[in-house]
Amino acid sequence: MTTTHAENRNGNYPGKGVGGAVGVAILGKGTVGTEVLRLLGEFSDNLEQRIGGRIEVRGVAVSNLDKHKDAPEVQGLTLTDDARSLITRDDVDVVVELIGGIDYPRELVLESLKNGKSVVTANKALVAAHADELSQAANEAGVDLYYEAAVAAAIPVVGMLRRSLAGDQVQRISGIVNGTTNYILDAMTTTGMSYEDALAEATRLGYAEADPTADVEGHDAASKAAILASMGFHTRVTYGDVHCEGITQITPADIEAAKKSDETIKLLAICERLTDDNGATVGVNARVHPTLVPNEHPLAAVDKSYNAIFVEAEAAGRLMFYGNGAGGAPTASAVLGDLVGAARNKVHGGRAPADNPYADYPVVDFGEVSTRYHINMTVNDRVGVLADLARTFADAGVSLSAVRQEESGDEAHLIVVTHQAREKDLQVIVDTLAKHDDVRSVNSVIRLDA
């Protein structure tokens, strides 16, 4: 029996039946695509048993045929530079998108979904920007849209939010979701390297791209934060909703100051449900910025290029997911996990849990979020300067948690830690301090928000 899109929209999702082959088109053959093809060949018999039918790769789309035509993993397969010729084939059931970027992959994924193909993608930028549109297309066609690999490669955080915590209420998600920046900050912490030297070492070892901007400026983490917030709070949060700061301004002096406070600097993606005094949800917020993490917190111990995601839920309590958040093999593992799920549904019928942004909470502006500041200043060393500067905080209604002063000649280094206050009020204080006659420089401002 042929299943039409109209029948799918009415909730009928019949499968091919046990033994039916599942045709797959793979778009892109970079590091991840190559690993996916290798693992499909290596695990084909086991995957058939798990799915109930055999995965058959109908073709691989690449941008440069000459570059890939002799690769062992594509021998015997259709290799094309025309992706549309694959996704429109009647014998393709699932499309695996591994191209990267936004505009062109969006066209291909939408066309695939509208043609009744389930889609597996590792494209965080695409999902963060267009999840609503893609999810709607998948729902209308009655097919699956999977993207576990888009957040933290092999770390199963999307499945956890979509299935394991589906009956709970997530309050907060915070995590290290970019391996490049974690490696750089860890190297600065453990070896005393400057940011520039740590970045050079990360590049030499292959942890950083030739152009590391997306990583070090926080854009990669912001895309992932948008996905996590959308899933955790059942509210559509896009990349543009995420406040984003990177690590390029972090100095060895900041690292040393953190050590003296028994803290570690990490680039965190933070997604938070905001409530009123009665505990009712008033909105959600997602942000990415360098953060001082207490050394007793589990995230402080995440070293090298590893990722970790810390989830706080009402009933489940505190959970942490840790592992390789990038790389060809870990990402391919997540892609194959999604592919098995999509293929199994094609064989046995049914659909995976779909995105459900039913809550539709407002996204709260970052300026209204409560946080804490660690402010490092160089000030004139004179009697009364500390009391004078403290009034700047008091006048703005912000109380101080700790103050540390280190004298050096006619100047002093002053470290001030605030209690929680609205971000916009704290920013006004920093701007005022920068103009104060006794403040020679505001050296750094780092949030405490783990």
* pLDDT tens digits, 115-150: 999 999 999 999 999 999 999 999 999 999 999 999
Return d(Cα 195, Cα 211) in angstroms, integer.
Answer: 15
CATH number at residue 191: 3.30.360.10
Among candidate residues 117, 224, 266, 346, the one labeled active-site is: 224
Q: Do residue 264 and residue 395 come from a single domain?
A: no
Task: Compute the average pLDDT of residues 422-427.
Answer: 94
- Determine whether 224 is an active site residue: yes
Q: Do residue 271 and residue 290 come from a single domain?
A: yes
Question: Over 156-219, what HEC string results?
Answer: CHHHHHHHHCCCCCEEEEEEECCHHHHHHHHHHHHHCCCHHHHHHHHHHCCCCCCCCHHHHCCH
- Give the tens place of pLDDT for each residue, 50-59: 999 999 999 9
Q: Is 53 marked as a binding-site residue?
A: no
Does residue 354 lie in a domain region? no
Q: Which two tokens stand for residue 435?
A: 């103009």
Q: Which residues pair with 408 in a beta bridge?
A: 411
Query: In Å, how far are 110, 181, 217, 360 from 257, measured between CA atoms?
Result: 49, 19, 22, 41
- Give the tens place of pLDDT for each residue, 59-92: 999 999 999 999 999 999 999 999 999 999 999 9
Q: Do residue 303 and residue 221 come from a single domain?
A: yes
State the pLDDT at residue 2: 37
Global confidence as pTM: 0.92
Q: Kind of pairing, strands 411-418 and 370-380?
A: antiparallel
The identity of residue 383, as a single letter, is V
| pLDDT > 70 in the chain, percent | 97
CATH number at residue 97: 3.40.50.720
Q: Which residues pair with 293 in a beta bridge?
A: 264
Q: Is 349 marked as a binding-site residue?
A: no
State the pLDDT at residue 39: 97
The domain tally of the chain equals 3
Does residue 361 lie in a domain region? no
Does residue 333 lie in a domain region? yes
Does residue 419 lie in a domain region? yes
Q: Do residue 122 and residue 84 come from a single domain?
A: yes
State the pLDDT at residue 409: 74
Q: Do residue 90 and residue 212 come from a single domain?
A: no
Q: Do residue 314 and residue 191 come from a single domain?
A: yes
Q: Kind of pairing, strands 306-313 and 281-294?
A: unpaired
Q: Is 34 marked as a binding-site residue?
A: yes
Q: Do residue 265 and residue 401 come from a single domain?
A: no
By the 10 Å C-beta count (0-12 exposed, 13-18 middle, 19+ buried), 277 is classed as exposed
Q: Do residue 319 and residue 184 come from a single domain?
A: yes
Q: Which two tokens stand for residue 338?
A: 């999604």
Q: Which segment of 156-170, 174-188, 305-319, 397-411 scores lowest on mean pLDDT?
A: 397-411
* Helix/strand/coil for 72: helix
As a whole number of angstroms, the longest Cα–Cα distance in the chain is 88
Return d(Cα 39, Cα 336) in angstroms, integer.
Answer: 8
Does residue 14 lie in a domain region? no
Q: Is 16 marked as a binding-site residue?
A: no
Provide the CB-side half-sphere exposure for 71 (13 A, CA): 21
CATH number at residue 377: 3.30.70.260
Q: Is the dihedral of CA 121, 122, 128, 129 positive or negative?
A: negative
* Helix/strand/coil for 141: helix
Q: Do residue 390 and residue 422 come from a single domain?
A: yes
Q: Which two tokens stand for residue 415?
A: 């470290």
Residue 205: which residues within 8 A CB-CB, separation 6 or more?
Answer: 183
Q: Do residue 26 and residue 123 come from a single domain?
A: yes
Q: Do residue 299 and residue 415 come from a single domain?
A: no
Q: Do residue 394 and residue 332 come from a single domain?
A: no
Does residue 8 lie in a domain region? no
Does residue 102 lie in a domain region? yes
Q: Is 29 marked as a binding-site residue?
A: yes
Q: Is 167 marked as a binding-site residue?
A: no
Q: In which domain, by residue range, is 107 found?
A: 22-153+328-348
State the pLDDT at residue 178: 96
State the pLDDT at residue 382: 86
Does residue 282 lie in a domain region? yes
Find tokens 């993207």 and name the residue: 147
